[in-house]
Amino acid sequence: MKSMSRSAVSAQDRRLRIELLRMRAGYERVALGQSACRLAGSLQPRMLVDQAGGWLRDMGFGWLGLGLGSLRRYPLILSLLGSVVSNPRRRRIALKTALIAGLVWLGKRHRRDTDVPG
């Protein structure tokens, strides 16, 4: 059996290294594509709202997360809120109504907390 010359072996090693580097680059391209798809999936509005709801619950504002979920489920509510806020006269009436409703809710909550049978 003839032994291969030193230059033939080094050329063969070089071709092998180049092929391995090409395979590695192909693998990294596929991995990058998969990561991009996962990132795009996590940036969908539905996923962002779900994450925001979780963060709000953790901070003690679960009711706000429920409100965001309701707005997502019933887009008519968001449309009505947008039309109310866009008109200055309606905005003033809506703010007064919201303030009164909040005060009534707080009053009922306070009364419920103090009327505990003992």
Q: What local confidence, expressed as pLDDT, does residue 1 receive? A: 45
The two structure tokens encoding residue 15:
């071709």
- Residue type (1 letter), 16: L
Put simply, whether the predicted model's pTM sits higher than 0.85 gets the answer no
The two structure tokens encoding residue 112:
């419920």
Q: What local confidence, expressed as pLDDT, does residue 21 receive? A: 95
Query: Could you report the per-residue pLDDT of 34-47, keeping only the tens digit for each?
Result: 999 888 887 777 77
pLDDT tens digits for the chain (118 residues)? 456 677 777 888 999 999 999 999 999 999 999 999 888 887 777 777 777 777 777 777 777 777 777 777 888 888 888 888 888 888 888 888 888 988 888 888 878 777 766 5
Q: What local confidence, expressed as pLDDT, does residue 35 receive? A: 92
Where b means 16+ CB within 10 Å and e means fewer, 83-110 reads: eeeeeeeeeeeeeeeeeeeeeeeeeeee
Residue 106 · residue 113 · CB < 8 Å:
no
Q: How far apart are the first and last CA of the chain?
A: 104
Q: What local confidence, expressed as pLDDT, does residue 94 receive? A: 83
Q: Return the ∠ at Cα 85 (arms to 74 and 95), rounded to 5°.
A: 100
